[in-house]
């Protein structure tokens, strides 16, 4: 959406579109629409409007305080100069993404952009930032496609210590039997919502599941991540179950990742295949990937943004704890996926594995694309690929390959972000300030707390 759409003619056009959407929703017995945005701490915040108020909301937006930008994972509010209690913003629903929520009968949902009362883009709006970063890629002649993987753990909704709902083995068919109705209701709900699910499977950790979706334009991929998680939670609630997307759910244990897949097209051709570089990479795909790899410590402040993230980001936990890349290497933070022979042109992409779902997916899109763009600007190249678990390599071999452990705590990642001009420049001063303030406040809040305490405090937050 560009600013022109917020002039009088643009508002009238949005109102007219909303009127026809309201008619359709009334026929589908929709009574309320949830407008969501994701805050700096990765929490999806919402405002609901009744059907009768949707037309006005579409044209003029719904009020929201800018102080949401400074909210922490525990709903505390970090001190900043930009996200203060005065002033007001407007949440404008994306009318192209309005969808009936299949597991919340009577509700529809639309992701929202945040605008100022004066009709300009709010500098702290993560979704608009993601869209602007996609535009920068377009200026370079490139179109990105992206997809977020979702992992979660299903519990019996119980007081006290949460009890895993499925007891079968990792990747076991047993789990699909144990939660058979839940699984099929989830897939039906997502299909009804137009989500193109590619795979749903039991994961490693007790009662953990994973779902992957088809690639989409990057902002749509972030929207889908919000919709999929909302649906997973809503279907679970209808089955008397509760879900956790938190980075870490047990110590010790393998956590919930939020891996991001990205590919790039130039002139309708995937630049991650058919090139003369290693594994078919073109120079553009290599430079883009190298731009991301070089900036991973800083990107962690975006993609692994919680103190809890560092309980997950451990060597040999499939989380990608080392800054290296490799073809189909699940212990490399950056995994090159080439696809099967014959389908490389559609399947080849790069997967960033070190991220989790405490992250705001719009900020992840903005950060990763900005890092890739910086790599393209610099004509960056990749080091030697790594074909083994870096944790198992002798120290001298790791040193020879230049493979370093990623930050092991939030404060180190935040310092790297602050020192990375490609990211602070893309995010702008206001968003940079709030991001740093929210992360540092969280690090202070949890300083000295045990892993078990951090897990208990964050399990149900995202
Ligand atoms: N659960 C792992 C993580 O924390 C990922 C497992 C996988 O490779 O899918 O990222
Ligand atoms: Mg997985």
Whether the Cβ atoms of residue 280 and residue 274 lie closer than 8 Å to each other: yes
d(CA 233, CA 239): 10
Residue 4 predicted with pLDDT over 80: no
d(CA 451, CA 408): 14
CATH 3.40.50.1010 fits 134-458, yes or no: no
Ranges for all domains in the chain classified under CATH 3.30.590.10: 134-458
pLDDT tens digits for 6-53?
889 999 999 999 999 999 999 999 999 999 999 999 999 999 999 999
Q: How far is the CA of 85 from the centre of ligand 1 (A)?
A: 39
| Atom in ligand 1 nearest the alpha carbon of residue 259 | 10
- The residues with which 261 forms a beta bridge, in sequence order, are 147, 351
Question: Mean pLDDT, the chain, as a whole number?
Answer: 96
pLDDT tens digits for 141-194?
999 999 999 999 999 976 778 999 999 999 999 999 999 999 999 999 999 999
Q: Quick one: tokens of 152?
A: 């979660």
Q: How far is the CA of 3 from the centre of ligand 1 (A)?
A: 40
**Dihedral angle of Cα 102, 104, 105, 109, to the nearest 10 degrees:** -70
pLDDT tens digits for 45-74?
999 999 999 999 999 999 999 999 999 999
Cα–Cα distances (Å) from 126 to 174, 193, 302, 420, 434, in that order, read: 40, 23, 11, 18, 12
What integer is the mean pLDDT of 208-230? 98
Residues within 5 Å of ion ligand 2, judged at the Cβ atom: 210
Indicate whether residue 312 lines ligand 1 (CB < 6 A). yes
Q: Tell me the three state secondary structure of residue 300.
A: helix
What integer is the mean pLDDT of 281-304? 98
User: Residue 260: which of 304, 317, 294 has the closest Cα?
Assistant: 304
Q: In terms of CATH architecture, what is 8-120? A: Roll (3.10)
DSSP secondary structure string for all residues of 116-137: ETTSSB-TT-HHHHHHHHHHHH
Phi, psi angles (nearest 5°) of residue 208: -95, 145
Ranges for all domains in the chain classified under CATH 3.10.20.70: 8-120
d(CA 190, CA 230): 10
Provide the whole-model pTM: 0.98
Indicate whether residue 257 lines ligand 1 (CB < 6 A). yes
d(CA 313, CA 315): 7
Residue nearest to atom 7 of ligand 1 (CA): 318
Residue 389 predicted with pLDDT over 80: yes
Q: How far is the CA of 451 from the centre of ligand 1 (A)?
A: 19
Secondary structure element (H or E) that encloses residue 219, with its range: helix 218-238
d(CA 412, CA 127): 26
Name the residue of 249, 318, 320 to mutate for ligand 1: max ligand atoms within 8 A of Cβ: 318
CA angle at 102 for the pair 128 and 461, rounded to the nearest 5°: 60
pLDDT tens digits for 86-96?
889 999 999 99
pLDDT tens digits for 401-448?
999 999 999 999 999 999 999 999 999 999 999 999 999 999 999 999
Name the residue of 149, 150, 201, 203 to mutate for ligand 1: max ligand atoms within 8 A of Cβ: 203
Whether the Cβ atoms of residue 304 and residue 352 lie closer than 8 Å to each other: no
Whether the Cβ atoms of residue 115 and residue 61 lie closer than 8 Å to each other: yes
pLDDT tens digits for 238-273?
999 999 999 999 999 999 999 999 999 999 999 999
- The residues with which 332 forms a beta bridge, in sequence order, are 322
Secondary structure element (H or E) that encloses residue 244, with its range: strand 241-244
């Amino acid at each position: 959406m560009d600013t022109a759409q917020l002039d009088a003619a643009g508002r009238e056009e949005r109102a007219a579109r909303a009127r026809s959407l309201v008619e359709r929703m009334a026929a589908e017995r929709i009574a309320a629409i949830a407008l969501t945005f994701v805050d700096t701490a990765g929490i999806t915040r919402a405002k609901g409007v009744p059907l009768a108020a949707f037309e006005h909301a579409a044209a003029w937006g719904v009020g929201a305080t800018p102080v949401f930008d400074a909210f922490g994972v525990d709903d505390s509010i970090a001190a900043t100069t930009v996200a203060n209690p005065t002033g007001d913003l407007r949440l404008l629903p994306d009318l192209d993404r309005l969808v009936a929520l299949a597991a919340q009968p009577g509700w529809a949902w639309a992701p929202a952009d945040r605008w100022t009362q004066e009709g300009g883009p709010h500098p702290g709006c993560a979704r608009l930032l993601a869209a602007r970063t996609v535009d920068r890629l377009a200026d370079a002649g490139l179109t990105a496609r992206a997809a977020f993987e979702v992992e979660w753990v299903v519990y019996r909704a119980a007081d006290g210590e949460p009890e895993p709902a499925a007891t079968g083995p990792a990747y076991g068919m047993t789990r699909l039997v144990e939660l058979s109705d839940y699984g099929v209701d989830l897939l039906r709900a997502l299909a009804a919502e137009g989500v193109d699910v590619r795979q749903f499977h039991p994961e490693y950790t007790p009662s953990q599941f994973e779902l992957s979706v088809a690639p989409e334009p990057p902002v749509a991929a972030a929207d889908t991540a919000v919709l999929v998680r909302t649906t997973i939670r809503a279907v679970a609630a209808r089955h008397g179950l509760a879900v956790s997307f938190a980075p870490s759910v047990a110590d010790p244990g393998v956590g919930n990742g939020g891996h991001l897949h990205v590919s790039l097209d130039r002139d309708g051709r995937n630049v991650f295949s058919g090139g003369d570089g290693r594994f078919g990479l073109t120079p553009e795909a290599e430079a883009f990937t190298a731009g991301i790899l070089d900036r991973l410590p800083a990107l962690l402040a975006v993609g692994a943004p919680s103190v809890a993230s560092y309980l997950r980001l451990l060597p040999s936990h499939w989380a990608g704890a080392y800054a290296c890349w490799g073809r189909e290497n699940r212990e490399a933070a950056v995994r090159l996926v080439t696809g099967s022979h014959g389908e490389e042109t559609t399947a080849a992409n790069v997967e960033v594995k070190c991220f989790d779902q405490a992250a705001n997916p719009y900020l992840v899109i903005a950060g990763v694309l900005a890092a890739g763009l910086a790599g393209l600007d610099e004509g960056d190249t990749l080091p030697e690929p790594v074909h083994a678990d870096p944790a198992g390599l002798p120290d001298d071999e790791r040193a020879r390959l230049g493979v370093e452990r990623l930050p092991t705590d939030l404060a180190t990642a935040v310092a790297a972000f602050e020192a990375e001009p490609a990211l602070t420049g893309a995010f702008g001063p206001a968003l940079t300030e709030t991001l740093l303030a929210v992360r540092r406040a969280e690090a202070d809040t949890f300083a000295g707390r045990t892993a078990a305490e951090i897990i208990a405090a964050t399990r149900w937050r995202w």
